A and B are shown apart, each in its own frame.
Chain A
Amino acid sequence: MGHRSSIPLYWRLQKSKYNLVGTKCKTCGKLYFPPRQLCSECRRKGEIEDFSFSGKGEIISFTVIRAAPEGFEKYTPYAIALIKLEEGEVISGQIVGDVTKVEEGKKVKSVFRRMHEDGKDGVIFYGVKFQLVG
Chain B
Amino acid sequence: MKRVAIIGAGQTKFDEHWEKSLRDLSTEAGALALADAKITSKQVDALYIGNMSAGRFVGQEHLGAMAMDNAGLNPKPAVRCEAACASSALAFRQGYMSILSGEHDIVMVGGAEKMTDLKGTGAIATLMGAGDQEWESSIGNTFVGLYALIARAHMKEFGTTREQMAMVSVNNHKNGSLNPLAQFPCEITVEDVLNSTLIADPLRLLDCSPITDGGAALILASEEAAKKLDNPIWVLGTGQASDTLALHDRKSHIEMIATKVAAKKAYEQAGLTSEKIDIAEVHDCFSINEILAIEDLGFCKKGDGGKFVEQGKIARDGEKPINTTGGLKSIGHPVGATGVRQIVDITKQLRGQCGKLQMKGIKNGLALNVGGSGATAVVNILGVD
Contact = CB atoms under 8 A, between A and B. Distances in A.
Interface of A: 1, 13, 17, 34, 60-73, 75, 78, 80-82, 90-94, 104, 115-116, 125, 127, 129
A66 B204 CA distance: 10
B140 A61 contact: no
Given A63-B201, A67-B144, A80 B139 contact: yes
B124 A34 contact: no
A87 to B, nearest CB: 14
14 contacts: A62-B152, A63-B148, A63-B149, A63-B200, A66-B200, A67-B120, A69-B124, A69-B125, A69-B140, A72-B140, A80-B145, A81-B149, A115-B140, A116-B140
Contacts of B124: 67-70
Contact of A65 (B145, B150, B156, B197): B145
Contacts of A78: 140
Interface residues of B, number: 36
A90 B141 CA distance: 15
B138 A90 contact: no
Interface in B181-206: 197-203
B137 interface: yes
A82 B128 CA distance: 17
By CB atoms of chain A within 10 A, which of B138, B139, B149, B246 has the most? B139
A73 B120 CA distance: 11
Contact of B149 (A62, A115, A127): A62
Contact of A92 (B141, B197, B200): B141
Closest 6 pairs (CB-CB, A-B): A63-B148, A69-B125, A72-B140, A61-B153, A69-B124, A64-B201
Given A61-B152, A69-B124, A92 B142 contact: no
A62 B202 CA distance: 9
B335 to A, nearest CB: 16
B139 A127 contact: yes
B121 A73 contact: yes
Given A64-B201, A69-B124, A93 B139 contact: yes
Contacts of B142: 65, 67-69
A94 B140 contact: yes
Contact of A82 (B198, B202, B253): B253
A34 B139 contact: no
A24 B382 CA distance: 45
Contacts of A82: 149, 153, 247-248, 253
